[in-house]
Amino acid sequence: MQDWYRFRKCILGVLIVQLSLAVFTTAQNKKSGVRIRKDETDQRVDVLVNGKPFTSYVWSSDLKRPILYPIRTATGTTVTRGFPLEPRTGESVDHPHQVGLWLSYGDVNGVDFWNNSIYRKPEERQHMGTVVHRRIVRTRNGSSRGDLKVEADWLMPNGKVILNETTEFVFRAGKDLRSIDRITTLTTLDQKVVFNDSKEGMFGMRVSRELEQPAKEPIRLCGANGQPSAEKILDNRNISGEYRSSEGKIGDDVWGTRAKWALLSGKVGGEEITLAIFDDPKNVGFPTYWMTRGYGLFAANPLGQKAYATEKREQDIKEMKFTLGPKRSVRFRFRLVILSQKETPEQIESLYREFIKESK
């Protein structure tokens, strides 16, 4: 009888251990991989990789368009500027409408959807549009990728909807790598829409101070109190950013030129980082023009053309007026790659080839 009790106790112990392991494994599985977590009350969708934050899709009345913010590397280093949402001492305070990662445009039927922000004067907002989040369509978790599909409307200053937007985000995670695909379809309603030639567009991000290119002139920086400094300062300590394009352009020479991809490399807090934006060959205007500013704006603009002309080549570039008739659609696909190391142009080209193989 004693042996029976001893045997039963042993079996019970094994079952408890197995149950504990099952509970632990389930908890771990809920954290592993790429997870999309909705919080519509707080107007955000968080993207987690193995339980740690990667980025968030956020919208609110303080934002004139939905954005991804902040964006982090695989090690957790933030690569987007904090100002004006979360000002950090010593960072640039220009262009408060440039927050996180977004898609908008500077001239849609004569209305500016690019420069709008709560910092604009009321008389300025009369000429500016707003992109308003409408609903979350779908989320999907996965071991190495997560998906988010949303809908939004582009509103004219009078509140009239001029475009319906459907956007799919694909978030991928790998060793020393994160990436974000944005696939956006814009659909007209009952009127023609003209995207007039503008340098201010389209798929863009504002990077952290360390990833800016060294400044040539004094600029206004954020003080310890979160407010802009009274005087402009020339301080290039720890500023290490440098642009390169697929066509061999470097630094300031990338701006206003066409290329299938561009990269920005630098160092943040001792971590070597490379950001790259890829343009899909099926996008209108491919290869895109680049809005790469030394102060930290990194953007691909396939709808601006004449706006990037210099006096030397002005006669050779025609003005672009991309037009959609009523009830017509256009699709844009871009990828942002975030690497925790300094990559060569050849390595970025290899990643780009993988990107275009996935083009549908």
What CATH number is given to the structural domain containing 161? Answer: 2.70.98
The verdict on residue 219 lying in a domain is yes
Q: Is residue 6 part of a domain?
A: no
3-state secondary structure of 211: helix
Q: CA-to-CA distance for 338 and 263, rounded, in angstroms?
A: 10
**Closest listed residue to residue 262, CA positions, set 240, 285, 238, 287:** 287
- 338 found inside a domain: yes
pLDDT of residue 2: 53
Spatial CA neighbour of 150 closest among 163, 130, 164: 164
Structure token pair of residue 226: 């979160």
Residues 333 and 341: their CA atoms lie apart, in Å, by: 25
- Give me the domain span that covers residue 73: 32-357
- How many domains are there within the chain? 1
Question: What confidence score (pLDDT) does residue 8 get?
Answer: 53
- Say if residue 96 is exposed, middle or buried (CB neighbours under 10 Å; 0-12, 13-18, 19+): middle
> Which residues neighbour 6 within 8 Å (Cβ) at sequence distance 6 or greater?
none
Is 13 inside any structural domain?
no
pTM summary value: 0.91
Report pLDDT for 275: 98
Using DSSP bridges, classify how beta strands 101-105 and 130-140 pair: parallel, antiparallel or unpaired.
unpaired
27 domain residue, yes or no: no
Model pLDDT, residue 25: 40
Q: Is residue 2 part of a domain?
A: no
- Single-letter amino acid, residue 225: N
pLDDT of residue 314: 64
CA 159 to chain centre: 26
Q: What is the pLDDT of residue 28?
A: 46
The C-alpha torsion from 320 through 325 and 329 to 332, rounded to 10°, is 10
**136 Cβ contact partners less than 8 Å away, ≥ 6 residues apart:** 38, 40, 45, 148, 149, 150
pLDDT score at 30: 63
Is 11 part of any domain? Answer: no
Tens place of pLDDT for every residue, the chain, 360 residues?
555 455 455 455 544 444 443 434 444 456 899 999 999 999 999 999 999 999 999 999 899 999 999 999 999 999 999 999 999 999 999 999 999 999 999 999 999 999 999 999 999 999 999 999 999 999 999 999 999 999 999 999 999 999 999 999 999 999 999 999 999 999 999 999 999 999 999 999 999 999 999 999 999 999 988 889 889 999 999 999 999 999 999 999 999 999 999 999 999 999 999 999 999 999 999 999 999 999 999 999 999 999 998 655 666 788 999 999 999 999 999 999 999 999 999 999 999 999 999 987
On whether the CB atoms of residues 243 and 250 are closer than 8 A, the answer is yes
Confirm whether 287 is domain-assigned: yes
- In sequence order, the 6+-apart residues with CB closer than 8 A to the CB of 117 are 64, 96, 97
Supply the pLDDT for residue 226: 86
Would you state the pLDDT for residue 311? 59
